[in-house]
Structure 1
Amino acid sequence: APWLRNLRGDILGGITAAVVTIPVSMGYGLLALAPLGESFISTAILAGLYAPVLGCLVAVVLGANTTMIYSPRSVVTFLVGSFVLHSLVRSSVPALQTASPEMLLALAFLLIFLVGCFQALFGLLRLGTLMKYIPAPVIAGFQNAAAILIFCSQLDSMFGFKTPVPLTGIPASLELAQLLGARITKAIPPALLGLITGSALYSLFVLLGWGGHLGQLVGEIRVALPTPHFLAEFKDIFMSPQIAQVLPLLLTGAASLAIIASLDGLLCARLVEADTGKRVHSNGELVRLGVGNMAAASFGGIAVGINLASSFANHRAGARTPLSLLVHAAAVALAVVALLPLIGHLPRVLIGAMLVAVAIQLFDRWTLQILRKLVTGDFPSARSMLDLSIILAVAVAAIEMNIVIAVAIGVAATVMLFLFRMSKSVIRREYRCDAVHSRKTREPKLMKILSDHGAAILVLELEGPLFFGTAENLALYLESVRRQNVSYVILDLKRVSEIDSTGAKVLLHAHDCFTKEGRHLLLSSFPERTQLAAFLKDMGVTAALTRGRLFPDADRAIEWCEDHLIVSQEGSAESGDEFPFSRIEVLANMSETELAAMKRALRRHTYRKGDIVFREGESGDELYVIAQGSASVCLKLSGSERETRLITFSPGTVFGEVALLDRETRSATVKADEDAVCYVLTRPNFDKLTDEHPAIAVKFLSNLGRELSGRLRRANHTIYQLAS
């Protein structure tokens, strides 16, 4: 079996992870249920220890193929404790104000059960991929709120503020040695190192007779075989007459907590994935976390997540299969049975100090970096300051109000900020086509027309979503374009991620206005066979522009505009007859005698539409002159059936000259776009021409050089135009 191939590593990893999990899980249990009072300390510690046992067992049963450890997390535990304190213990709901502590405990576990239900539902509905859209400032706000409240809630147990015990802070300070534990030794987990050093000093003070100046011990913890007895209590709660008062509070709190817990779990899972190399399936993880929380709550355990410290310890100690999760669960369960008497003699101050250490490590580093810049005078950007304001708003709401309001404030603020940022201009770049031409080569006379009048063609490259927040800006810009000397407007949709109904209506309105004025609106990079294309069809955009104004790329759209512009200036873009031999650019400035010699050196070839003139990699040394029709160099895009045009050669232009000059293999494939006629100059004929008529050969090469330099000059001009 695969699990037996790495038996030693999985056993060692599971035990090592358990050593990391046990101390912090006890602290998390106290953090979650401490608001219920001193009488629930033993229950809280057991709740913290039951959680990793049940979380790991459920994960394996549900098919987890990972070494991630499912145990309590600080942020999630803080949110549970915050709900228990603000929404249960200090509730304004009459039914809760008169409820017994035992009933409040059952409601706390019911909350965790409902959180699990929501998480499992998120996974079954495949919402795991959507969780990443919860804004980072909202999560940072919860982290900082958790850190602040955890830190402040443990100051009394550390320093004895309510009941003065002056020496309490000394073992607490040694417990904080876990912050430096990783630097002192890697052989002992930092939390365990802190417990050992703090307990040793506490015992020393007791031996010296200073026990009265120290805080209390955890106390006796009684444990029996756990059963899912809370399920019966959940049923009683739902059958009680007061459920109508309590259920809305529980559902809203559970939904809000489930969102944060799910995102926290998925973020941690991604971090573990980067360390282990095992891929994480978001929706499956949500189901496992959800069912794990339902099981933990039924047995009296707190919520579980993906514990990073334990997961990293597990993998780095040699674990490679889910067997390590079973070993981890067994080790924690054994600790519950065998070590509870010893746990009962732990000073409470050490548990408090351990949670303070967790709180210090929990502070969001991004927030601290922004605050450090403010303090040092190195003021961060306006965007960072806006993010900081959301972080502070969420943190204050989580501390002063409750998690439901905090989530609502954070998400609402971030959505408004997103809309503000997205309302910037959707126009990424614009350029005129007097400098930037299509990839269709033309004779110099026509290129001169495009250089003189090409400014009437305007290309607007759009980027991002074209929705109600950006569509109005585009509409205003198109309105201003109508007051300029522009006859053709190409909207390039290559980088447009989304178009809503408002954006579609702006396109329709612009098309109507342009058409009435004799102008032309074209769409390039039109997304064929996509949801966006179907939406534009439903909105009537496709029908209004017609297929003749929709192009696969900007190059084809520019070519259409150039042809239309040439017709308006010249009367026709191209004649159907063969291009006059004497007007071919590479034969310029030649006499009738010289033209006759060139005609003898050239061979006439005809090609049908779709014929391959030559293929990439073929040997060949011929130069081609297009006399009629056209031919294109196309490149097939990897991963699709689409092709992109590199260049199109029209009558009077030359291609294949590189192979004639350097005698290397063909660098590209050329295909006839339509029935075409070419004059072909082979290398032997060129050599013969050079020997017999060297002056003609020199003229030919001079003309060819001028043609190539013209292409290079136009390319440089285009690059400058696009880069500016």
Structure 2
Amino acid sequence: MFAQGFTFGELENRGFLLGPFPEGGLFPGFPFQYVPDFRWDLFLVHLPAIATMMILSAISVLFNYSGLELIVKEDFDLDKELRLTGYSNILVGIAGAPAGYLTLNETSLAYNIGSRSRLPSIIVAVFCGIALLIGAQALSIFPKVILGGLLLNLGLEFLVEWLVDTWKRLHKSDYLVIVLILIVIGTVGFLEGIVIGLLMSIALFVINYSKVEVVKYELTGKTFNSNVERSEYLRKILDDNGDQIFILPLQGFIFFGTANKLLQRVRDRIESDTSNSMKYLLSDFRQVTGMDSSAVNSFNKLKIMAENHQFHILLCGLDQDINEQLLIEGLIPDDSNTIQTFVDLDHGLEWCEEQIIQTVLKDSGDLDRLRDNSQFRNMLSDISEYLEEQDVPADMVIIEQGKKAGGIYFLESGHFTVRLGSGKGEQIRLKTLGPGTVVGEVSLYLGSEASASVVTDVDCRIYYLSKENFKKMQLEAPEKTTMLHSYVVKLLSDRLAESNATIQALLR
């Protein structure tokens, strides 16, 4: 242009250069002098817009850093970068500057031309400082075409990357969001495009998350039992009536979309249950992360369904927040006992099993069978000369975790609880044992230390077969020893079969 005879002034007048800029420094001084004249009424009018800008700026920072990670193919310390951004904004805010943060366009440009450090940012800051304090006249000779070409090249790269390259990589709904953002930014504005993109992304997330199955799996009382070990006769009752118990462990965050799936599961079970056998519905909330108010309304519908079809709802493992939500809605406590709560699924399932046993025995007029353990008693009678009868008070530790049991304990009356001590001092209930059950057999046969503690829940009557008497019986009465072996093998086989049935149900 100079070779053709153009001067700086002519190029500037024709718009080929960045100038002209005002002479002298551009820094007007710190804004504290204007505080007395601050228009609080105007501030309140524009407060919603200011709040929106603050939120969008914070989100944009995260988006820009995430986008830059994809461009440079490296992981950033986001916590460190966000702190630096915050400190920088505090510093420049004192001088009255607007909010600033990493810009993806300029940073990508610097990276694409070979920069691998913060040096371009420092250089830009130095030139901005010079222009601010001394003046911007030096920039007036910079050709606009060079700056425009860089921006055009960068913009075309972004268009190719996000409109062409993503066509095959992204789901069509996600690609539609990108196109919509581009259209809104081009026709309305940048901030509006970001808002539309956020709203569309939230809508897609809600739609996709509602497709996630809130019910982890379906179980019944036939395939999943509480940690209460009962006599063979009572186990037979529970096996015959296990369909009365319907178990739905839940997972994730429950809202109107996923809660409706829970209702549909229950409806499907009721419609397929022609004999109306379901009496207990258990929902395990142990893996539920939260629940919104719309989901609470679904549980109100579930309660109405339970009242119409005469079954109980047991909510197990509720955390404090969900429990408070249900309290506020008046779902719990429930005077009609349609809805009940339990600390965990195991205790809720135990309650259901006790109700079934009591109902079956009461209807058959055979309540005495609760204490009927004929096979167990016959076995004890045959080896009675080697047993020690003991009456043990409640809360007595008969087997301590980490120590050898020393023998086998046969429970005639009362209840044992098998507890596992954790490293945090917590006691986890592994199993509750009723009359006709045995503990300590594994430690005796393997000669190993007890893997858990056994504690009496109530006053118990037990029969103890010590290690010494066990060896004595092996020598003096091998036929009785064989009978004991058979009983223990059957006991362990029943436990294994129960565990296998549960595993198979969970794998379906």
State the TM-score, normalized to the length of structure 1.
0.56
Distance 1:626 1:474 in 2: 41
- SS of equivalent to 1:464: strand
Query: Equivalent of 2:454, from 652, 662, 670?
Result: 670
Deviation, 1:715, is 0.7
Flag the 1:346–1:700 CA change in 2: closer, same or farther, 3 A. Answer: same
- SS of equivalent to 1:565: helix
Cα contact 1:256–1:404 (8 A) shared by 2: no
- The match for 1:489 is 281
Is 1:264 paired with 2:60? yes
Deviation, 1:534, is 1.6
1:67-466 aligned within 5 A: 216=16, 218=18, 222-224=23-25, 226-228=27-29, 254-266=50-62, 279=79, 288=87, 291-292=90-91, 294-295=93-94, 298=96, 303-306=99-102, 333=129, 345-356=141-152, 358-359=154-155, 370-373=166-169, 384-424=171-211, 426-466=214-254
Cα contact 1:266–1:285 (8 A) shared by 2: no
Deviation, 1:564, is 0.9
- SS of equivalent to 2:323: helix
* Structure 2 counterpart of 1:304, one-letter code: G
- The match for 1:650 is 434
- The match for 2:356 is 565
- The match for 2:323 is 533
Question: Could you give the per-residue CA deviations for residues 119-152 of structure 1, whole angstroms, max 9, x where no partner exists?
Answer: xxxxxxxxxxxxxxxxxxxxxxxxxxxxxxxxxx
Is 1:704 paired with 2:488? yes
Deviation, 1:400, is 0.7
Distance 2:504 2:35 in 1: 71
* Structure 1 counterpart of 2:208, one-letter code: R
Percent identity between the two aligned chains: 24
Distance 2:449 2:323 in 1: 41
Distance 1:211 1:678 in 2: 115
Query: Equivalent of 1:555, from 336, 346, 353?
Result: 346
- The match for 2:406 is 621
Cα contact 2:303–2:339 (8 A) shared by 1: no
Distance 1:228 1:337 in 2: 10
Deviation, 1:277, is 5.8
Which structure has the highest helix share of the two?
Answer: 1
Deviation, 1:659, is 1.0
- The match for 1:633 is 418
Deviation, 1:569, is 1.5
Distance 1:446 1:265 in 2: 63
Cα contact 1:262–1:286 (8 A) shared by 2: no
Distance 1:688 1:435 in 2: 40
Question: Could you give the per-residue CA deviations for residues 153-207 of structure 1, whole angstroms, max 9, x where no partner exists?
Answer: xxxxxxxxxxxx9xxxxxxxxxxxxxxxxxxxxxxxxxxxxxxxxxxxxxxxx8x
- SS of equivalent to 2:167: helix
Is 1:503 paired with 2:270? no
Cα contact 2:361–2:367 (8 A) shared by 1: no
Deviation, 1:714, is 1.4
Deviation, 1:636, is 5.5
* Structure 2 counterpart of 1:561, one-letter code: C
Distance 2:224 2:259 in 1: 27
* Structure 1 counterpart of 2:455, one-letter code: K
Distance 1:225 1:601 in 2: 103
Deviation, 1:444, is 1.4
Cα contact 1:616–1:666 (8 A) shared by 2: yes
* Structure 1 counterpart of 2:388, one-letter code: R
Deviation, 1:342, is 6.5
Cα contact 1:566–1:572 (8 A) shared by 2: no
Question: Could you give the per-residue CA deviations for residues 72-93 of structure 1, whole angstroms, max 9, x where no partner exists?
Answer: xxxxxxxxxxxxxxxxxxxxxx
Cα contact 2:333–2:340 (8 A) shared by 1: no
Flag the 1:393–1:572 CA change in 2: closer, same or farther, 3 A. Answer: same
Flag the 1:393–1:704 CA change in 2: closer, same or farther, 3 A. Answer: same
Deviation, 1:357, is 5.4
- The match for 1:521 is 313
Deviation, 1:689, is 1.0
Flag the 1:512–1:518 CA change in 2: closer, same or farther, 3 A. Answer: same
Question: Could you give the per-residue CA deviations for residues 244-270 of structure 1, whole angstroms, max 9, x where no partner exists?
Answer: 8x997x766655443332112245678
- SS of equivalent to 1:458: strand
- SS of equivalent to 1:571: helix
Deviation, 1:469, is 3.5
Flag the 1:509–1:404 CA change in 2: closer, same or farther, 3 A. Answer: same
Deviation, 1:459, is 0.7
Deviation, 1:387, is 1.9
Deviation, 1:703, is 2.0
Deviation, 1:490, is 0.9
Cα contact 1:455–1:486 (8 A) shared by 2: yes
- SS of equivalent to 1:617: coil
Deviation, 1:337, is 7.2
Query: Equivalent of 2:470, from 686, 703, 722?
Result: 686
Flag the 1:264–1:294 CA change in 2: closer, same or farther, 3 A. Answer: same
Deviation, 1:344, is 5.2
Flag the 1:644–1:450 CA change in 2: closer, same or farther, 3 A. Answer: same
1:537-616 aligned within 5 A: 537-544=327-334, 549-571=340-362, 582-584=374-376, 595-596=380-381, 598-616=383-401
Q: Please list every run of 5 or more consecutive structure 2 residues that lacks an aligned counterpart in the other structure.
A: none
Question: Could you give the per-residue CA deviations for residues 319-343 of structure 1, whole angstroms, max 9, x where no partner exists?
Answer: 9xxxxx9999679746977997765
Flag the 1:667–1:229 CA change in 2: closer, same or farther, 3 A. Answer: closer
* Structure 2 counterpart of 1:616, one-letter code: Q
- SS of equivalent to 1:526: coil
* Structure 2 counterpart of 1:675, one-letter code: D
- The match for 2:256 is 468
Deviation, 1:721, is 0.6
- SS of equivalent to 2:208: helix
- How many residues get paired? 481
Deviation, 1:520, is 1.6
Flag the 1:402–1:318 CA change in 2: closer, same or farther, 3 A. Answer: closer
Deviation, 1:345, is 5.0
Cα contact 2:409–2:438 (8 A) shared by 1: yes
Flag the 1:211–1:692 CA change in 2: closer, same or farther, 3 A. Answer: farther
Q: Which structure exhibits the higher relative contact order, with contacts defined as CA atoms closer than 8 Å and separated by 6 or more residues?
A: 1
- The match for 1:113 is none
